[in-house]
Structure 1
Amino acid sequence: MIENSKCECGHNNPVGTILCEYCGKPLDEELKEKQTIAKEMRYEGKARRSQTLPASPFDMVWNFFSSVKVAVILILITLVTAGIGSIYPQENLIPETDRLGYYEQHYGFTGKLFYVTGFSHVYETWWFFLLVAMIGISLVVCSLDRVVPLFKALNNQQTVKSTEFISKQRIRDQKNVPAEEKEEKLQQISAALEKKFYRVHRDGDSLLAEKGRISRWGPYINHIGLILFLLGILLRYIPGWYLDETMWVREGEIKRVPETPYYVKNERFSIQFYNGTQSENEGPIVKKYETDAVLYKKNEKNGKLIPVKKSPILVNHPLKYDDLMLYQADFQMGLLDSIKLKVTEKKTGKQMGTFTVDLYNLDPNHVYHVGNLDVRALEYYPDFAMKDNRPITKSQDPNRPAFIFEVKEKGQQEGEKSWVIAGENLDSLTKQNKYAIDLAGLNMVNQSGLLVRVDKCLPFLFVGGFFTMIGLVMGFYWQHRRVWIRWKDGILYVGAHTNKNWYSLFRELKQIESLSEFSLQPVKK
């Protein structure tokens, strides 16, 4: 840290300045002994805020986030945690309610550890959000800490530089030039540099030739792109800005789209197979499958559903409406939708009639009228199982539907109870019953798996990517080149600097006839 910032030329520099803002002379004693000052030219030797002594807690925080090492460590930690989170599927991709059991069953101990440590939903955790936010803060602070002094330095460049500054450039030389030849030589060099598209400034016996300054802003434009990209990621944590869910809709069913005010109806599902082609394990290979869908929105006044868009949904061809996109993601064929049951009088074998039970929307108060009988479902177990001698359902999917029906004759106060499991009357429990309920038919439907996607952050990601590419092109393919020339006491000093591609600058200067007589050679930093 340099505390004495006053230069021999008399200019007072801010604390922390390495090279004099006016003449460019090194202010640090150790720097004066070095062969070149190329490394210190990165920010023109200008003092950065993080190089000053911390005077407040804000300065300490600023200095922490302005460190490139801190930014690299934060990025590495984020990459490692994101990589671990991608080893196994995230929770939102798993339909099972017992997710711990799912991870343990499919992936063993490592799967259980993956779930217990929270990596199964790592992208939704507060600490992952904090990591991304800290990277964004670090990018902003690093950029401001460097771009502000760089902007000030480049916009206040002095044409007259000290001979010590010129003599410590990587490409430099000096030659005796008599005073009577000085003017002609300076004019020749100025004209030659202008032909190479340099902008030449002259002040007395000094020249400053410059081109490609815009390349210095490439890394900071790149930073702007990365900041926009990170902002797009952080905005996904705001409710309503990002949604990535799956839903299943049966044919003929109207179902609400998760976390949105919309409803979708599966009017029809169709599938096509490749003729004569089949997979060894899965049979015929699917060629195309699609869902004819209608999107509804509820009228706030009367509560009725109003269709807003009708469109087929295919793989990679979603239904789009405003910010909502519905993708075709999966399907299930031959799904049990409803079950048709018949009521028979046991003694005579007379069929009293039939009724149909909707396995997904069973109303416990609904009464089925079968002839002179009233039938009502008292209990319903979609996926029947026994546990501790008590009936339970393992899931809400009708894999093995079981019912307890009450059958009453007209005018009867209390009816008889019948157990029906998977369409079969459990006669061992209902021997005293007058009526039996048995399977009469099944209604099968197809089901579409839809991916629900809302992403209002995409403009930030696209614009951020565009800025990043522009910054990379500016930083990689353009160079900021400067040439300082000064005549003093019969000696013509020449020094040149570039932020990259030193040998290209050296070859360019050697092609200039008026400079070819100089022994311009790039030296080590």
Structure 2
Amino acid sequence: MTLNTSNNSSKNTAVDTSDPPSTTSIGLLKRLQRYWKRELIPLLADLRLAIALLLAIAVFSVTGTVIEQGQTLAFYQANYPEDPALFGFLTWKVILTLGLDHVYRTWWFLALLILFGSSLMACTFKRQLPALRWFSRTWNFYSQPRQFEKFALSAEFDRGSLDHFIPLLRQRRYKIFQEGNKLYAHKGIVGRIGPIVVHVSMLLILAGSLYGAMTGFFAQEMVPSGETFQVRNIFDAGPWAAAQIPKDWSVKVNRFWIDYTPDGTIDQFYSDLSVLDQAGQEIDRQTIHVNKPLRHNGVTFYQADWGIAGVQFRLNNSPVLQLPMALLDTGGNGRFWGTWIPTKPDMSAGVSVVAKDLQGTLLVYDMNGQLISTVREGMATHVNDVDLAIVQIIGSTGLQIKADPGIPLVYAGFGLLMVGVIMSYISHSQIWALQTENGKFYVGGRTNRAQVIFEREMIEMLNQVRDVKG
């Protein structure tokens, strides 16, 4: 008996202790649901929070525009030194620590976008859509004269008729609903839908920005004329950008050239590019220049910079030789490229040649740094007992390469935003009317904007009702 009682007691105790966890889980879930509905959603839907987030996004976007993005460590150390610090605090360490060198891909900037998107969604579902449903319920008819007292613009006539009033509304394109001696009319309901369209468009823009930040990449290449390259020099990429980077096709720079103005300044520079498949066959060919990029498979190639890659020359009757040219450090006094050309087989003597553009003129200096000659492309000069002929100065094109799969969403969002803004400017006007059994006639109305125009329209209709009554 004791054992049985003990076992039963143990079983009862086990059953009793199994219930509270289930009850606790249900209670916790209910509390979370109440917190979500009563605390979190109203907080996200708060207009003040949305404005604060929008301002923060704007400030950091400006920061990402002012501070150069995706540069090397040496660049930031040179331009944002610790002493003196810019504005007293902005140094290269601060920039790298906070991620200001790649603002648009930092976790905190993406978190701001997600939080702002959540705020827009909460506002849309908690305020905009319920407001639209509420406006649909205002199609209820007013049956009591006292209901017209709340309107800022209303009138009472000793006599009047809906039959005379309805044609006046139709002339002004009101949609009319009538139930016996009661009338409701409205126009411009699209003005109430406009804010919802604006919210949806902003969500599209945010979604496109996030998608582009996670899947896009940005690269730069400096490629000499005649060279074929694949995108390698990527300095900013999202965590899921691997699928966008070209792997089964390459690009060949057929030719790079610069058009100059009569006074010698650069007018435009061009790159003749061919897209090649894995077999080296040309599948696309375009000549690009500034503001006219090449687009292929979601990747865009922009003409962004130029340089001098090398020089082809001949010594006496030798074959054509080629040497690379390097950008010289001029301390900010312009861009010059130079190289050293040996004039003796043992390299015991030679000359330095310097060029500043692709117009074909080279400055020739001896080993003491003295200018000894000037030679143009296709011409020769006699130096160190040899004839130095310049065959060609080889240019290199600087390309900015970008892939942003989120751009179509962003463009669609901006297009929808313009439509929504236009829709929002349309006034939503509402008019109620009541004809009582004793012959009295009541009219009242309101609008959400263009109040003066609506008042003029109402006064004009009321005067016409008065005239008919007379």
Q: 1:504 aligns with which of 450, 453, 457?
A: 453
Q: How many residues align?
A: 373
Query: Shift of residue 486 of structure 1?
Result: 2.0
TM score, norm. by length of structure 1: 0.61
TM-aligned CA distance change 1:484 to 1:77, over 3 Å: same
Name the counterpart of 1:169: 151
Q: 1:68 aligns with which of 42, 47, 69?
A: 47
The question of whether the paired residues in 2 share the 8 Å contact of 1:167 and 1:493 is answered with: no
Q: 1:305 aligns with which of 256, 273, 280?
A: 280
Alignment of 1:115-264 (within 5 A): 115-156=96-137, 157-177=139-159, 185-239=161-215, 242-258=216-232, 259-261=245-247, 262-264=249-251
Name the counterpart of 2:56: 77
The question of whether the paired residues in 1 share the 8 Å contact of 2:129 and 2:196 is answered with: no
Alignment of 1:257-272 (within 5 A): 257-258=231-232, 259-261=245-247, 262-272=249-259
Q: Does 1:486 align with 2:434?
A: yes
Alignment of 1:359-508 (within 5 A): 445-476=394-425, 478-488=426-436, 490=438, 491-508=440-457
Query: Shift of residue 105 of structure 1?
Result: 5.4
Query: Shift of residue 116 of structure 1?
Result: 4.2
Name the counterpart of 1:314: 289
Letter in 1 for 2:116: I
TM-aligned CA distance change 1:105 to 1:503, over 3 Å: same
Cα deviations by residue, 1:114-168 (Å, 9 ceiling, x for unpaired): 4443222211211111111211221122111123323333334212354443210
Name the counterpart of 2:69: 90
Helix, strand or coil at the partner of 2:276: strand
TM-aligned CA distance change 1:515 to 1:355, over 3 Å: closer
The question of whether the paired residues in 2 share the 8 Å contact of 1:509 and 1:515 is answered with: no
Letter in 1 for 2:204: L
The question of whether the paired residues in 2 share the 8 Å contact of 1:167 and 1:494 is answered with: no
Cα deviations by residue, 1:258-310 (Å, 9 ceiling, x for unpaired): 432232222222222112x1xxxxxx201232122222232xxxxx4333222
Name the counterpart of 2:36: 58
Instruction: Output the CA distance in 2 between the equivalents of 1:166 and 1:134.
Output: 43
The question of whether the paired residues in 2 share the 8 Å contact of 1:273 and 1:285 is answered with: yes
Query: Shift of residue 107 of structure 1?
Result: 10
TM-aligned CA distance change 1:492 to 1:354, over 3 Å: closer
Helix, strand or coil at the partner of 1:244: strand
Query: Shift of residue 444 of structure 1?
Result: 5.5
The question of whether the paired residues in 2 share the 8 Å contact of 1:509 and 1:516 is answered with: no
TM score, norm. by length of structure 2: 0.68
Instruction: Output the CA distance in 2 between the equivalents of 1:288 and 1:357.
Output: 26
Instruction: Output the CA distance in 1 between the equivalents of 2:101 and 2:350.
Output: 36
TM-aligned CA distance change 1:220 to 1:54, over 3 Å: farther
The question of whether the paired residues in 2 share the 8 Å contact of 1:71 and 1:135 is answered with: yes
TM-aligned CA distance change 1:359 to 1:486, over 3 Å: same
Helix, strand or coil at the partner of 2:443: strand
Cα deviations by residue, 1:420-448 (Å, 9 ceiling, x for unpaired): 99999xxxxxxxxxxxxxxx999963111
Q: Does 1:102 align with 2:78?
A: yes
RMSD: 4.1
Name the counterpart of 1:285: 265
The question of whether the paired residues in 1 share the 8 Å contact of 2:213 and 2:404 is answered with: no
The question of whether the paired residues in 2 share the 8 Å contact of 1:212 and 1:481 is answered with: yes
Letter in 1 for 2:135: L
Letter in 2 for 1:144: F
Give the helix-richer structure, 1 or 2. 2
TM-aligned CA distance change 1:488 to 1:420, over 3 Å: farther
Gaps in structure 1 of 5+ consecutive residues: 1-52, 178-183, 278-283, 299-303, 342-352, 361-381, 384-397, 402-417, 425-439, 519-525
Gaps in structure 2 of 5+ consecutive residues: 1-30, 233-244, 328-336, 341-345, 353-387
Instruction: Output the CA distance in 1 between the equivalents of 2:450 and 2:166.
Output: 22
Fraction of identical pairs, as percent: 21
Instruction: Output the CA distance in 1 between the equivalents of 2:320 and 2:171.
Output: 95
TM-aligned CA distance change 1:509 to 1:260, over 3 Å: same
TM-aligned CA distance change 1:423 to 1:287, over 3 Å: closer
The question of whether the paired residues in 1 share the 8 Å contact of 2:132 and 2:193 is answered with: no
Instruction: Output the CA distance in 2 between the equivalents of 1:207 and 1:54.
Output: 46
Cα deviations by residue, 1:364-420 (Å, 9 ceiling, x for unpaired): xxxxxxxxxxxxxxxxxx99xxxxxxxxxxxxxx9889xxxxxxxxxxxxxxxx999
Letter in 2 for 1:484: W
Helix, strand or coil at the partner of 1:192: helix
TM-aligned CA distance change 1:358 to 1:288, over 3 Å: closer
